[in-house]
A and B are shown apart, each in its own frame.
Chain A
Amino acid sequence: MELSPKEKDVLRKPKELLEKPKLDEDHKPRASVDAKKRKEELKKIHYFLRLTREFDDRGRKLWRQGRMEGTFFSQIGQEATTVVPTFFTERGDFIGPQHRELGAIITRGCPLELLASQLLSRKTSQDKGKCHPNFWGWTEGNFLAPCTLMAAQTGVAVGAALSFKMRNMHFIALTFSGEGGTSKGQWHEAVNFAAIHKLPVVFIIQNNWWAESVPLRLQAGNEDISKRAIGYGIEGFRMDGNDVPLLYDFFSEWIPKIRANIGPPVIVQLDTYRWYGHSEIDPADYRAKEEVEMWKQRDPLPNFESYLVKEGIMTEAEIEAVREKALEEVQKAYEFALNAPEPEPKTCLEDVYAP
């Protein structure tokens, strides 16, 4: 397809087009951050990023081998935008994902066996074969299984945050939508209400530039959707969603701050990219090859790994060891699911109503 001048511009000099976060002046050197803690946490984040990547990759393969039903919604390329914010959530926080937040549920601590079981519609999953394979939820971790409709979880997250504020509980609600979801009335209703009551919500917009086949320029009049924050009377930020240290510095400050003050909400637009189609049945031929290639160069994982080595946080060997460990865990989880029993067909009649 014909690229707009703006898109051509993105292809030429992507970095310059992505604003750095507007952090407070006194925050900039982050002198207050314990350097040792930062290193330890970045290592943990690396592990979750890698685990997410390997789990997704193996899932895609299973779909291509015809070993799972339905279709697979790969999030490869978008790991950082889900893993990093979720890393700063605590037990008691609420997470309202959209449908490409594998990194969030893995970082939240959901056992991989549960996720793999759902992907293969096994009895051992939380949903027991009733939900779409990719739409993972984990009630124990206050992680609501997605409702497929775009931005459907945004208002629900706001309701969770309302309940925290009403009861003076120091929890936050973290909710994800794609840039496409922000065109829904429900998204507006949710953000507006959260702004009125200064509720503790982090609204993540994962801008992967394409809502299925519709580009951002046909989705919003201003491609910086976070600017809408001004209209709501709250703060909004836009940043490179593939820059892990940048995301770390932002969320490690903002999430604890919002939790401590039980609000106000913040909109964070994270520019990123999904490498593959909307799902595996989508060849994604609406995108220019050069664009895909450019974003693959900006893969959050190897770039972050280079950073870790450069900063002396991890060695090449340690990074390789993490990769092996992640692969092993993923293999084990899928082995478990492949050998797990199928649900009985008649159990589709269960769980319609709570007793």
Chain B
Amino acid sequence: MSDDADGVPEENPTILLIGSGPIQIGQAAEFDYSGAQACRALQEEGARVVLVNSNPATIMTDPEMADAVYIEPITTEAISEVIARENPDGVIAGLGGQTGLNVTAELAEEGVLEEYDVDIMGTPLDTIYATEDRDLFRQRMENIGQPVPRSTTITLDEGESVTELDGAALEERVDDAVEAVGGLPVISRTTYTLGGSGSGVVHDREELVERVRKGLRLSRNSEVLVTESIAGWVELEYEVMRDADDSCIIICNMENLDPMGIHTGESTVVTPSQVIPDDGHQEMRTAALDVIRELGIQGGCNIQFAWRDDGTPGGEYRVVEVNPRVSRSSALASKATGYPIARVTAKVALGKRLHEIENEITGETTAAFEPAIDYVVTKVPRWPQDKFEDVDFTLGTAMKSTGEAMAIGRTFEESLLKALRSAEYDPAVDWADVDDDELDAQYLERPSPDRSFAIFEAFDRGYDVERVADLTGIESWYVERYARIADAAKDAPAGEFELVGDVGFTDQQVAALADGASTSAVVAGGDAFDASAHLDDVAATTTDRRFKQVDTCAGEFAASTPYYYSARDPISGIGREEVQVDTDVESVVVVGGGPIRIGQGVEFDYCAVHAVRALRELGIDAHVVNNNPETVSTDYDTSDGLFFEPISAEEVADVVEATGADGVMVQFGGQTSVNVGEPLETELARRGLDCAVLGTSVDAMDLAEDRDRFNALMDEMGIAQPEGGTATSREEALDLADELGYPVLVRPSYVLGGRAMRVVHSDADLERYIEEAVRVSPDKPILVDQFLDGAVELDVDAVADGENVLVGGIMEHVETAGVHSGDSACSIPPRSLDDATLARVREVTEDIAGALDTVGLLNVQLAVKESESGAEVYVLEANPRSSRTVPFVSKATGVPIAKLAAKAMAGRSLGDLDAEERIPEHTSVKEVVLPFDRLPGSDPRLGPEMKSTGEVMGTARSFAKAYDKAQDAAGSPIAASGTAVVHFDDLHESFAEHYDLATFDDEAALFGALREGKVDLLVTDRREALATAVEEDVPYVSTEASARATLAALDAKGDPLDVLPVSDRPTVAREWGGE
């Protein structure tokens, strides 16, 4: 569909912007950032923006972000209704990730866009198809003379059979194919087999012949694809921008540290490229411009190349892939350079030319330029390896990471060390147990989340650069710099600190090295060290870190809204001050949440951004410390000063010092920021800085996390808790469990977030748990608690100002106790609680808020268990800080509790703020999105360990319809009819009202039916069956509680979708649990 004569009007058009839905592996917060930036850019141009996204945890779905915000499923059905209501002139598809792109294509195919005369703005659909179809793409590249990896197929002639084919004839075909793609090694790929089996790099002719023989036999269409192997080449990405006048620029290039063969989202990535000469860089730059022109892209686009040094001045390259839209890489490129790709893309879609768009960072140049940078950017992914012990985390062509951290330094060493601190990833390897052979095979040759740490370990063992480069396939230039870090670290125990600091370690890390810690252990942590006696010595010796600007131009122009990174550059004596903040006004540093991981998602960025906005509303300058390039909090215009830094006490204290901040907020960035609270107080005191940790005291936060102190407090207040205790040995644990009665809930006391938590049903279970999972000891006790079987779980989010408490909302979980609260669907308002119970919930919340002297947010998790004497309310956990349900509550009720909290922490009373509680008249259901399809081998059953990556919200007049909409939004819609397999006996009859129920003689028959697409819904708690459903993308329900909710939703199938802007949903001013 192209612009026709009566296309999008130039004056004040209505633009539909489609978001990317829930956070999932491969699609994280980057589209919240790009969508939020686009909303503002479009409104600046006078457009009326209509936004649709199902993810309530995003900034883009804040009511004030667009003229109409719909938190609705991203399905053609829901969006068609939005289009009918809003009558947009155009839709921008390229800003909502693959989700936004796909649904736009479907809307076009179904004729909806034509019916309502909605133009696709920016990049046309044809282009999207051309990049997604391998053959079409190859053809288009060949048309403009761009090299793509060479490829050919070996086929059987009609009537020919591979068993009859003689050896010589087969060998001849194989030889021809190898010659056609430029010689061995090649990638042999059998087409249309399941799960890519039979694919791989082949170095040897005999092996290839065998593979082809086997492939031809197995392949459904008797075809084997032979492709030139570019494994081991350097992988690069170019971010390109083009306007309607055909002005094209490159925003930056990015070089993957890990060679070709590992998904760029899984790779450590460096900007700008380090190992490519100018000739090669310019050849690829020109190629990128030729490609973007050929494809007719308008706006941002990402092109991947493979490159190798073949001895010519410029080397040799191949075009690998084009992403015709804003992507994760564009978020990274934007943050790495300061060039706002989403903003410019949105304006280009409206017809603006690049030179007509202001560069807001310099304030004096335009978007028609290529950023110059004078620093090194390193991105490292963050993997959920700790959550999935059954999953093989070998890195490959599919993404498994959930998020990423970005760091900036003046050398690669500094940049890398900052990135590793920012990622907060601690490898679960005890190197002492790993011999050299295993180190080589499992940790250096095999790419894994632990590889950077393994490289340091290798240097500590005396490996040389060449050996490490050979094993890892990483360019020597990079390996040499790892070696420099390892070499520098060796100085520390000798009392030589300066050079160790210069390479990029923090003083804390240098002190830990001085105490004898190994490099591989130290690089992972920012604050995870015991106070070292060396610290003051180290701090006095090392070069001070100073802040430098990210200004898009490498200093060529004075910047008006730059952001900052720290570096230990030599002190020049010129003493130019780069930080442009007013140190005399009241200001506060808000600590962000770092990379997105399971349990700490985009919700915390939402909270941090709201804190910033609240402070600015009060006239207080707000500075942000964060390192996640995907987020709104790290956008250059979100705060008064953005500091792209690792979140360690030392580095946050640097920001406090540079900005002269009066306060620092650690409540909003999830566990990352909470953890920094205590060491930060120590560090601020050590430096004599007059800056307070605002809100609820660090001690109260610690009290809430300290099992014993918290128990005592609850007892004192007469608040019920599940019975339980701490065991420091196997015997103690067994005794305790017997005393409480099985089932019991067990977990180690030293990890948070439900990690390694289990419900165990017998002594044998418990012993196995202790044996395999935790190894209980006096240093590492385990907690054993009464398990409230069948209890209803609740979440409460509240705000307190030290005197008064405002309850944001009470949420009732769909899942019963035993499923992590972060993995359970929940509804607001609660659907099954009576007024007396709600009143008790309120009372308990207020009591805890008072007892903890809460100033700011408070999240309380409770369980309600029916007994003979009525419903008893138990407290499971209380956390005086932001929770992952804060944005959901705010979207459902319209009460901005994160902002209220920030204002309370800044000293305002809830009374002054005119805050009031509101109860929604419609029901909103939050549903989670689980990553099992991305992590082969994972156990798809829900349990006490959180596994979900993201969430969606569905709202309707009834719980049942809201639940149905939430399933649609989560991408697992409940079929209205068809064939179901139900393993919960109690529910057979109910499901039979909607489905034909199928039964099978054995598991194998069930798996077969699932694979053949004969099952429309699987209702079971059996792991293998669920795993098959995940693999085959068959909708499933894995708990009895969610099966009951599903039945309710089935009954509501006929109800209207009830699509409405979020701010049009009615609420009443009334207290939760009030009279």
Do they bind each other?
A: no
Residues of B within 8 A of A (CB): none
Give me the interface of A with B, judged by CB distance under 8 Å: none
